[in-house]
Structure 1
Amino acid sequence: MFKILKKMVPLEPRLHSGLGLVRPHDYGFAHKIEIVPIGFSEIVPCSMWYPVFIAKRGEDLGVFVFLGTGETNLFVNPDGTWKTMVIPNLIRTYPFSVRKEGDEYVVLVDEEFLREGEGAPLFEGETPTPYLENIRTELTNIALDLEKAGGFAREVFEAGLLKGLNIHHNFSFGTLTLRNALTADMQAFIKIQPEKLYHLNVKGYLSLLFAQNFSLRNLVLFEVFNSFVGTLPF
């Protein structure tokens, strides 16, 4: 799984019992985040607002969105509010995150938001509180969704439906440079075997490839989002 945020540590009763979590009151923590992984179910809604791309790191493949460049997240207003109604799950659930260790999913937390005697308690002795159990369930579902996105990316990569994506563009607020990423190769659909095409369509992959490819047009909106202040109602 790809990392986007630092300072994340596993939650452990031995270390964190007696501490409470004070969640951030806005999205100001994300004002420097430029790229974030998204899950399978997020690809279509995110493609409406963000440029979506696929990346390969070692043996792992994942799906990501651009949020900005030059350590500037264009989707966070100066007051910390988010500009659209579509917020990537790993941003929305911060300061929690999750990673897989063997067959288990481990809950991570940014220790900066832990307080003694404040916030929502996480453990009662050695036992997770109902609040933490709900968080764990949500994060496990997000982790499964991220893995499903990775499986989608791997299958279309192995099917030869992706091509290299190289971007270098100067905006008024900074330069965006991306190399060795991947995007849907629309010409490759012509060459694929009909039975393979049917298989990918049944799995819902073809619509995701179209959404991903079309989402790159959202790069032209970056200048708009750089100057826009407010929250769009959809």
Structure 2
Amino acid sequence: MPQWIAISRTQHAEHHYQPRQGYRFAAEQPVASILLAELPKLLPHYALGFIQQGEQYQPVALLGLDGQTNLYVAPNGKWLGSYVPASLRGYPFTLANTEDGQTALCIAQDHLLESEQGEPLFDGEGRLNERVQQTLNFLQECEKSRQLTQQAAKALGDSGVIEPWPLQVERGEGQEPLKVQGLYRINETALNELSAEAFASLRSHGALALAYGQLFSMHQLSQLTERAKFHAKHQAQQPVEKAPSEPLESLFGGDDDEMVFDFGE
């Protein structure tokens, strides 16, 4: 887990930072939190589910099958897909709450540089440099959508339509199915049996899109098994640190790495 440092004009005016190079930082991340606003972009590429955090449910995209590996990250750090979840694209920056209730822009400690290598955090007039400001804007828009997403997930949880998901993934002849623990899904029968009033309440919270998105996305579990085969093939053929020989774009598409909060077509 990264150590986050709040960025300060007084303390970091002369500091630089190392921009993210690929997605190796997420190589051991089996799920990624998702936003309502990006559902149309997620559905063609990811199986979606929920994990439980305290008494709340967090909607996530499934990235791995064993709880430790992100199958969407190639050996060279490239993303194996044409859309990267928004929760990963702001790295090495994030927003965090301070002790006085404010929101601060933070950077992963190992990306903060005291030398003049990398890129400056601030310009000569003490303002965030253009790329950092762009990232901050992106994170702020993500935070607005995250709050709406949490409201939708809470409404689904309160309505009783979220249930444990005993997911088993077939691994081929002679191999035991892989069991994935800790996931939750929408109970379609319970959703369809809600009263008209309860159904309307979910609609008012934007929760129906999240519910049906999760149900429809379960057809994308094959995306995980295909990427598992890809990794197994290249681990057998070459050292992990070497890049795959095939162009990744021809296998799974190129990564959408735009730092723009626009999830339309």
Q: For this structure pair, what is the TM-score category when the shorter chain's length is used for normalisation?
A: 0.7 to 0.9
Q: Say if 1:33 and 1:189 are closer, same or farther in 2 by CA, change over 3 A.
A: closer
Aligned to 1:177: 180
Structure 2: distance between partners of 1:105 and 1:171: 44
The amino acid across from 1:110 in the alignment is A
Q: Are 1:35 and 1:65, in contact at CA under 8 Å, matched by a contact in 2?
A: yes
Match of 2:93 in 1: 96
By how many angstroms is 1:66 displaced? 1.4
Q: What secondary structure does 2:153 align onto? A: helix
Shift of 1:76: 1.5
Q: Are positions 1:109 and 2:98 aligned together?
A: no
Query: How far apart are 1:96 and its partner, in Å?
Result: 1.0
Task: Identify the range of structure 1 (147-156 vs 195-204) with the bigger mean alpha-carbon deviation.
Answer: 195-204
After superposition, the Cα gap between the structure-2 partners of 1:78 and 1:157, relative to the gap in structure 1 and judged at 3 Å, is same
Match of 1:37 among 30, 33, 36: 33
What amino acid maps onto 1:164 in structure 2? P
**Structure 2 letter corresponding to 1:43:** L
Q: RMSD between aligned alpha carbons?
A: 2.8
Q: Distance in 2 between matches of 1:104 and 1:59?
A: 24
SS in 2 for 1:48: coil
Query: What's the TM-score once normalised by structure 2's chain length?
Result: 0.75
Structure 1 unaligned spans of 5+: none
Contact 1:47 1:211 in 2 (8 A): yes
Amino acid at match of 2:221: L
* Structure showing the higher strand proportion among its residues: 1
2:70 to 68, 73, 79: 73
Counting matched residue pairs gives: 229
Per-residue CA distance 1:5-61 (angstroms, 9 max, x = gap): 422222223442211122122222222221121122123422322221122322443
Q: Within the alignment, does 1:193 sit opposite 2:190 as a pair? A: no
Shift of 1:125: 8.1
Which residue pairs with 2:13 in the alignment? 17
CA distance 1:104–1:141, shift in 2 (3 Å) = farther
After TM superposition, give the deviation of residue 140 of structure 1 in Å: 1.1
Residue type of the partner of 2:181?
L
Q: Could you tell which deviates more after superposition, 198-207 or 21-30?
A: 198-207
Q: Which amino acid aligns with 2:95?
A: V
> TM-score w.r.t. structure 1 length?
0.83
1:84 maps to which of 81, 85, 89:
81
Which has more radius of gyration? 2
Output the CA distance in 2 between the equivalents of 1:133 and 1:139: 10
Counterpart code for 1:178:
Q
Tell me what 1:123 maps to: 122
Shift of 1:158: 0.9
Q: Percent sequence identity over matched residues?
A: 19
- Paired residue for 1:207? 209
* Farther-moved stretch of structure 1 (85-94 vs 60-69): 60-69
